[in-house]
Amino acid sequence: MRYALDSIRRSPGRSVLTSLGIGLAVGLVVLLVSLSAGVQTSATALAYESGVDLLAVSPGSNLTSGEFPPLTHAHELASRIPAADPNVATASPWLVDDLAFGNRSLWDAANNSSFPTGWTYTESGTVGWIPSDNTGIETPTIYSGSGFTAAGDPFYANGSYNGTPTHEIVLDQALAAVLHVGVGDRVWAGAAGPPSNAGLRSWYANATEFRVVGISGPFWLVPSALLGFVYLSELQALSGGATPSTDYATLVLIHLTDPTHPTIDEAKIAVGVPGLTLYTLGNILGEIQHVVNLYRTFGTLVGAVGVVVAALFSTTVLQMSVDDRSREIALLRAIGSSRGAVGVKIVEESVLLSGLGLAIGLPLAYAGSVLLNRFLRGLLPGLPTGFSFVSFNAVVILTGVAAIVAVGLGAAAAPAVRAMRLPVAEELRAP
């Protein structure tokens, strides 16, 4: 190892650049691995904490793309599914749709036909559910306000849709901030906004007025920065599903009393309530794993290219080092060093350069993972506090070490062979 250190000290500039190149390649590999590990670990943890053990959707739904054809007779499913399987504690139908929102200030401007620059309605995702029927399922925390006041779904009125609407809505903090409203304020909502501000007055006349009864935190299950929550039947009335023959929902979240064997419950529900496509938590995590694996494959290819480039760069530098010290290597051979001993010295130099690269690459990868996680969380503010896109754990570090070993041994092969085959007599007679 002393010979390797001496060689590095002789060419500090070249050695530093080589180690930096190796460090950047290793840092890239570690960063990509930490990203895939973080998404998988966090998604798995959130899935188990959500309380959702089974997911019921309509046939033809695609979990990966997020395409969910409407489920009909949604309110009935809340009772039919537990009847088919006594182990079902909660079957909660949800309708997820986009609405256009306006506040009182925009209403005043519409009536006065005067709009400050940039004023218009706000589009937002909205969840329609039965608030009292979500036992065991994680829902967003309400930070202010009393929340929904009526149990069940009053406007649904056992399928007649002639009950009294509550006109209550809970907004997440981001949507409340955009609309500049708080608990007790009014907002207006419609299935679509007007084509221009000139039509806002007519839009308000046909929109549904809601009273804000709560301000909630963000909700990771529907990762949107702007989100509202209303009664299922009242969202159906806005989106065209409020009839006994339709009664639309997007999906049904199912919480089991005993989630030990969800496939048994899946089979019971499939028999008792035909026409549903059911996914267990394992199925959902499998879809997530499939997406992560696709990314991991791409990341592996990119990382492999980086490692190969680093190895080729190191090989070139070591070849130059062998050429610069060819007479010295010949002298070592002349005084009794074996070919193998000379080759080991070249391998030691390569490994030492790679070790310096690891010392550079790991801190860079860690700093990059922190910055990347912060950036990605900024793009999806609906995620919970504990969610992390990256996971800098022992497996990730060992991957970096393995990459270093690959670079060190791969880069040393050709230069070591060259050093062992140097013609001793010719090198010593050379001027």
Q: What is the pLDDT of residues 245-282, one digit of tens each?
A: 899 999 999 999 999 999 999 999 999 999 899 988 87
For residues 271 and 299, membership in a common domain is answered with: no
pLDDT, residue 289, reads: 67
Three-state SS at 320 = helix
- Would the pLDDT of 382 be above 70? no
Helices (H), 88-172: 104-112
pLDDT, residue 85, reads: 95
Exposure string for 143-175, b = 16+ CB within 10 A, e = fewer: eebebbeeebbbbbeeeebeeebbbbbbbbbbb
pLDDT, residue 35, reads: 82
> pLDDT: is 176 or 29 the higher one?
176
Regarding beta strands 227-231 and 122-129, do their DSSP bridges make them parallel or antiparallel, or are they unpaired?
parallel
For residues 291 and 231, membership in a common domain is answered with: no
Domain span at 155? 72-275
For residues 77 and 19, membership in a common domain is answered with: no
Structure confidence at residue 355 as a pLDDT band (50, 70, 90): confident
For residue 182, give the nearest of 159, 210, 213, 155 by alpha carbon.
Answer: 213
Backbone CA torsion sign across 141, 63, 224, 116: negative
For residue 278, give the nearest of 102, 12, 52, 73 by alpha carbon.
Answer: 52
Per the structure, the count of domains in the chain is 2
- Would the pLDDT of 412 be above 60? yes
Three-state SS at 318 = helix
Over residues 123-181, the pLDDT tens digits come to 999 999 999 999 999 888 899 999 999 999 999 998 999 999 999 999 999 899 999 99
For residues 265 and 354, membership in a common domain is answered with: no
pLDDT, residue 82, reads: 95
Regarding beta strands 208-216 and 142-144, do their DSSP bridges make them parallel or antiparallel, or are they unpaired?
antiparallel
Mean per-residue pLDDT for 32-39?
81
Q: Is residue 55 domain-resident?
A: no
For residues 414 and 313, membership in a common domain is answered with: yes
* First-last CA distance in the chain: 29
For residues 90 and 162, membership in a common domain is answered with: yes
Among 200-204, 341-345, 355-359, the range scoring the smallest mean pLDDT is 341-345
For residues 261 and 300, membership in a common domain is answered with: no
Q: At which residue do the structure tokens 């039947």 appear?
A: 233
Among 12-21, 81-90, 115-124, the range scoring the smallest mean pLDDT is 12-21
pLDDT, residue 109, reads: 81
Residue finishing a domain among 275, 306, 334 = 275
For residues 271 and 290, membership in a common domain is answered with: no
> pLDDT: is 49 or 182 the higher one?
182
Exposure string for 34-45, b = 16+ CB within 10 A, e = fewer: bbbbbbbebbee
Q: Which pair of structure tokens corresponds to residue 216? A: 């909630």
Over residues 284-343, the pLDDT tens digits come to 777 666 666 666 677 677 777 777 777 787 787 777 777 766 667 667 667 766 777 777
Q: Write the CB contacts of 379 (distance below 8 Å, at least 6 apart in sequence).
A: none
For residues 128 and 172, membership in a common domain is answered with: yes
Q: What is the DSSP letter of 102?
A: E
Using alpha carbons only, how large is the chain's radius of gyration in Å?
A: 32
Structure confidence at residue 5 as a pLDDT band (50, 70, 90): low
Q: What is the mean pLDDT of the chain?
A: 83
Q: Is residue 59 domain-resident?
A: no
Q: How many CB atoms lie within 10 A of CB 244?
A: 14
Structure confidence at residue 424 as a pLDDT band (50, 70, 90): low
Residue finishing a domain among 275, 294, 327 = 275
H or E stretch covering 153: none
pLDDT, residue 293, reads: 67
Instruction: Determine the Cα–Cα distance for residues 84 and 265; give it in Å rounded to an integer.
Output: 9
Amino acid at the residue 36: S
CB 223 within 8 A of CB 57: no
CB 227 within 8 A of CB 214: no
CA dihedral 247, 251, 255, 259 (to 10 degrees): 140
Q: For residue 52, count CB atoms less than 10 angstroms from its CB and return exposed for 0-12, middle for 13-18, buried for 19 or more.
A: buried
Torsions phi, psi for 113 (to 5 deg): 55, 35
For residues 195 and 76, membership in a common domain is answered with: yes
Residue finishing a domain among 275, 310, 333 = 275
Instruction: Determine the Cα–Cα distance for residues 63 and 57; give it in Å rounded to an integer.
Output: 9
Inter-CA distances, 356 with 7, 40, 87, 353, 363, Å: 14, 31, 58, 5, 12
For residues 218 and 299, membership in a common domain is answered with: no
Q: At which residue do the structure tokens 């760069």 appear?
A: 313
pLDDT, residue 201, reads: 86
Q: What is the DSSP letter of 152?
A: S
Greatest mean pLDDT among 89-98, 351-360, 407-416 lies in 89-98
Helices (H), 218-275: 232-239, 262-272
Structure confidence at residue 223 as a pLDDT band (50, 70, 90): low
Q: Is residue 172 domain-resident?
A: yes
Instruction: Determine the Cα–Cα distance for residues 150 and 161; give it in Å rounded to an integer.
Output: 16
Query: E strands along 130-196, which residues?
Result: 142-144, 168-172, 186-190
Torsions phi, psi for 65 (to 5 deg): -85, -15
Q: Is residue 281 domain-resident?
A: no
Instruction: Determine the Cα–Cα distance for residues 133 and 130; give it in Å rounded to an integer.
Output: 5
Inter-CA distances, 180 with 83, 101, 400, Å: 44, 12, 49
For residues 141 and 267, membership in a common domain is answered with: yes
Inter-CA distances, 363 with 13, 15, 367, 397, 406, Å: 21, 19, 6, 11, 20
